[in-house]
Structure 1
Amino acid sequence: MKLGFSAEEEAFRAECADWLQGQMAGEFKDIRGITQLTAMPERRKEWEQQLGEHRWGCIGWPTQWGGRDATLAQQVIFAEEYARAGVPGRINHIGVELAGPTILTFGTEEQKRRFLPDIAAGRTIFCQGFSEPNAGSDLASVRTKGRIEDGHWVVNGQKIWTSLAHIADWIFVVTRTEEGSQGPKGLSFLMMPLDQPGIEVRPIRQINGDAEFNETFFTDARCPADSLIGAPGDGWKIAMGLLAFERGVSTLGQQMGFRNELDEIVAAAKANGRAADPVIRQRIAQAQIGLSLMRYGALRMLSNADHSRIDGAALTYKIQWATWRRNLGELAMDVLGQAGEIAAGDAYEWDVLPNLYLFSRSDTIYGGTNQIQRNLIAERGLGLPREPRG
């Protein structure tokens, strides 16, 4: 496994860093350091378009579709420098990291022409329609239904935890299109425009004061028949392919964000004297070791990746980082003490470390709970018997 980068790759790192830091010190300095995903959405959309104009938005994509044909090493470097520069999280993460690669892999040429250039240019924002009130981590239990009518798919049902649906343009929806089907059979994968009378988006307020998540209701919502990705009934296969992309290069950028949070904890401990506490020092050291192990594990995972499926190493990654970051949030609050329990403003807006603690409580739940992740590791990674289902 190669753990370092060549001189050419380090030159590319310098190019990335110079451009990103220049943007954050110049035209887009007002969004630097933002931690809440819903803050300043219009400026964040302008930032997506700035990335697209300079072909930084989807650098691993083919140049034909707005990318740079970047190598895996270059994608890793850009993701790391993006986080290092203090650039806020991508509000089109779902489009860039999930919808786009899914269309590239499973879509028709016409669907690629229809969607990919606008995603790469930052003009089209996507959200994800997977979970339902009774089908969270168990995606195979979805009840939302779709049928063909007059050359359109007509969808009825409800999705939940649809991040950024209130500012998105399109949603990809896993829906049951075969009457009477159960489990993973009879599901289809649809691309649907959100701006239509048949779709209602309601925000869900989180404990950190943000409202990133939403409930999304479909009442005879429509999309053209050719918005189906793959064939009818292929929804489960395509959804599993999409989840493999979720464990992709962005994990290295995510880890650089974790690095920034750990640095904030160290700085706070030095400032308030908690760094002299041997227990706190030991916990900081353990966090550093865990972060280093995650980096090496992610590099190994990406080096061996067949991005059409989730391999054994990728199955372990989500539970690893989610548990580590939940513990990091607890460390942050122990370092801050009582001062971390008081917001500076009146609008329930928290500083970086209290916000880290509050949001990290969800890390072991969304994207598949820790319990579900253990089942996946056992059943798919180790080949153990499936858990009995009632």
Structure 2
Amino acid sequence: MKTLISKHRKIIHVDMDAFYASVAQLDNPELKGKPVAVGGDGRRGVIAAASYEARKFGVKSAMAGSLAKKLCPDLIFVTTDFTRYKEISNQVREIFYEYTDLVEPLSLDEAYLDVTINKKKMQSATLIAEEIRKKIFKKTGLNASAGIAPNKFVAKIASDINKPNGQKTITPTEVIPFLETLQIRKFYGVGKVTTQKMYQLGIFTGADLKNKTFVFLEEHFKSSAEHYYNIVRGIHNSPVRSSRTRKSIGAEHTYLENLTSEVYILKKLEILSIEIEKRLLKANVKGRTITLKIKYSDFTQTTRSKTLEGFIDGQLDIFKIVKELLFQEKLGNSVRLLGISINNLNNQEVEKKHQYIQLKLDF
């Protein structure tokens, strides 16, 4: 067996609270405080997400909508809106990048951040997590929870402890006691089938798992033995894998009321071009290819692009090209979404190597 060597890092796992359902409640204030299910309507529908009000009745994701309705007769079904989810997700990630380029998104609503060395030069990962959660709420109106720990595995588990709208820090000295008392079913990555198998083997807590020899684990869990042997000892050195080097920068918005006037559409595009300029300047890059995205009220979508000879980053230059693209073809139905993106950037991919050392700083 190859034993991994643990190094102290400061990892934050940020997880948006009931993200899809919370977005629905944000966009429709009448839904606030009410049991909401995203998707799942109809005889064969499956729920994608449920609000905390719905979860109190036992409603949860991957449940049939018909069963959920029986559990919660007052359940309100809403349709998914991935364009809107992605829009907010991008806003949240911009906040992450204010602190570190080492960001590993797991989905639209959660990500790992390595803040061992961070842009703010802050010593405490706990304070960074608090700042991030406050900024997310201020910018989006949504709550997020966080887990802070020396590795991704523990941080992921910790983020679920004080949900919703809370956080939990597990310091390096607390990792082992924390894992020993943790119910095995709460170990991230241990699903229902494995949990039942562990129960049959007398493994109910982390301490029970830790008491099993590697030979025993290999006999019963084959290739997963080393993983289980290490994680319960706080050893999980998987790095936060970032694809931070940008290939494009964009901004888009879904409008609550469809746009029917070219004057209004141009005004909205002007606002988006200003946002693009801000993001380009912040990332210290320029681009050559501008793309306009239009989604109509009937959900049909079109994109139009133009590549320039030189690089640009100014709002006036961007808006001029976008205006050309808008009138390149006749507009269709009323517009529900507009987006602008710019790629062929003048940045070069740089491989960043980070060395981690034992840090005697606040966790």
Higher helix share: 1
Whether TM-score is above 0.5 comes out as: no
TM-score, normalisation: structure 1:
0.25
State TM-score, norm by structure 2: 0.26
